[in-house]
Amino acid sequence: MIQDACRIAREALIKPFEGYGKKLPDGRCIAYPDPATHGVPWTIGWGTTGFNVASGTIWTQEQATVALDAEIASKAYGLLKYSPTLVSASDRRVAALISFAYNCGLGNYRVSTLKKRVNDEDWAGAAEEIVKWNKAAGRVMPGLTKRRVAEAGFLM
């Protein structure tokens, strides 16, 4: 179950919305600044951030893929910790939440009304909540709005 949800999240939600950022002519990628802050967090590949990503960081596509898959797995297992009811949810619902956690973080999920709706198995309420997470640096971002609408569709 979790492997299928991870695959769906990666191919249907994360890769399309994150894109393979700042691709170089040889297929490698270079870190770029956050679009909302124009700085930290620096991002590379398919939306990977972290202490090892800074201005000038260059990865191969293989490195980006390994980082993507590791982060997706980490988010999936974190979600199961905070929302054990997900073991009986559809792969598409779990995929939507993996995409959300990949983009917004497990810490935000942990304290959200979205988590409460998921734990109550209130999928319509979860869809209503997820679309509220469309801001970065206090501004509504069109790309985040589209992503959240797509995730909400997977929750229904």
Q: Which of 11, 18, 128, 151 is catalytic?
A: 18
Helices (H), 53-112: 61-82, 91-104, 106-110
pLDDT value of position 136 = 87
Answer yes or no: 18 catalytic: yes
Q: How many whole angstroms separate alpha carbon 126 and alpha carbon 16?
A: 22
Report the predicted TM-score, pTM, of the whole model to 2 decimal places: 0.94
What domains can you pick out in the chain, each with its CATH number? 2-155 (1.10.530.40)
pLDDT at 1 over 80: no
pLDDT value of position 21 = 84
Judge contact between 100 and 83, C-beta under 8 A. Answer: no
